[in-house]
A = this chain, B = another copy of it.
Amino acid sequence: MNDEMYMISALRLLQSADELRDRVSGAFAAVHGLSVNEFFLLMHLERAADNRLPRVELAKRMYVSASTITRMVGPMQKIGLVDRESSARDARLAFVALNETGKNKLQEAKLTFAKNAGYAFEDRWQIDDVSILSELLHRFVAGRIANLT
């Protein structure tokens, strides 16, 4: 039955992600003092036009609430990874902008991320399989504003 297939795939997807996140999380905290979510926030900014986004947009793309963005950005601004920018057109908007320090930090973090992702796959995957997985998962994220790839 299709329902059974859907459930198994979804379970495996969530479990695989949990394991991967757990693996990356440890390395991130130790090496960069970053959380995985902070890494994703930087990734979204890097990909955005002018390297900046309104808080509401970040919230949608990261599947978290607006208040979470507010509270995440505070410390990141304090340590100089991002800046707060106001909009001339709409005084309600408070952009989060990636600055040079943030870009550099992000490049380092990407290496750590790739390395640990590599460990997770190398164990038992052929590179072709990773490629197929990547293509399949692309449909899950393709067309969504959240998509980072």
> Which A residues contact B (CB, under 8 angstroms)?
2-22, 24, 36, 40, 43, 62-63, 110, 113-115, 117-118, 120-121, 124-125, 127, 129-134, 136-142, 144, 146-149
Contact = CB atoms under 8 A, between A and B. Distances in A.
B141 A15 contact: yes
Contact of A149 (B12, B36, B148): B12
A4 to B, nearest CB: 7
Contacts of A16: 13, 17, 137, 140-141
Question: Which secondary structure dominates where chain A touches chain B?
Answer: helix
Contact of A19 (B4, B134, B144): B144
Contact of A113 (B10, B24, B113): B10
